[in-house]
Amino acid sequence: MYYARGVPSDRERKDRLIQTRVPRDLEATLKSEARRRRVTVSHLIRNVLEDAFDLVDGVVADVDRLVSDSVTLARNVGENARRLADPARSRSGEDHADLADVYAWNEVVLQRATACSSCSAKMARGERGFVGLSDDPGRRRAWLCSSCIVALGGAPREEEA
């Protein structure tokens, strides 16, 4: 039975002799370290080899997990970046927002042009618009024009009436 990881029972364990040539300085290091630890050179080499295999197994498992986590993170970042960087989608009408998760509308004066999430009407800088408030932080911001807010039941301001 191959003795690489784990400790076999006494019945399974039949030590084998493996010989190898090593440089003089490595021999001196091994003998010095064995004396310091009060073990034989053979025992020291066996322990070092076993520890090296355990260490490599741990590193490989950690690298696999790290790569997997990195791929997941990269996908999430990519999806979020595409969603944030593609304002043309909402203007094209391709992404009419699902407004079900909007719990309130806040009237604002637009600093930059956008499009109504309901009817895709262009809304210019300086116009009144309505921004949707939602508890979903990953949700695309929803905008409504004055016509669509009236259609939802919002009353026009007194100045407009």
pLDDT, tens digit, 9 for 90 and up, residues 20-31? 899 999 999 999
- In angstroms, what CA-CA distances link 36 with 30, 32, 47? 10, 6, 14
The span from the CA of 153 to the CA of 147, in Å, is 10
pLDDT grade, residue 91 (50/70/90)?
very low
pLDDT at 92: 43
Q: What is the pTM for the complete model shown? A: 0.38
* Last residue within a domain, chosen from 41, 67, 83: 83
pLDDT at 6: 63
Say which residue the tokens 């053979």 belong to. Answer: 42
Q: Does residue 144 share a domain with residue 92?
A: yes
| Structural domain boundaries, residue 111 | 88-151
On whether residue 19 sits in a domain, the answer given is: no
Question: End-to-end CA distance of the chain, in Å?
Answer: 91
On whether residue 1 sits in a domain, the answer given is: no
Q: 7 is written with which tokens? A: 């400790």
105: closest CA among 63, 155, 66?
155
The span from the CA of 148 to the CA of 118, in Å, is 7
* Last residue within a domain, chosen from 38, 65, 83: 83
pLDDT at 127: 93
Q: Is the pLDDT of residue 105 over 80?
A: yes
Please count the structural domains in the chain: 2
Q: Does residue 102 share a domain with residue 66?
A: no
* Last residue within a domain, chosen from 83, 108, 123: 83
2: closest CA among 48, 50, 43?
50
DSSP character at residue 12: T
Say which residue the tokens 């034989």 belong to. Answer: 40
* pLDDT above 70 coverage of the chain, percent: 77
Half-sphere exposure of 146 toward its Cβ, with a 13 Å CA cutoff? 11
Q: Is the pLDDT of residue 32 over 80?
A: yes
Q: Does residue 74 share a domain with residue 104?
A: no
Q: Is the pLDDT of residue 156 over 80?
A: no
On whether residue 156 sits in a domain, the answer given is: no
The CA R_g of the chain, rounded to the nearest whole Å, is 34
pLDDT at 55: 86
Q: CA 20, 26, 28, 30 torsion: positive or negative?
A: negative
Coil, helix or strand at residue 104: strand
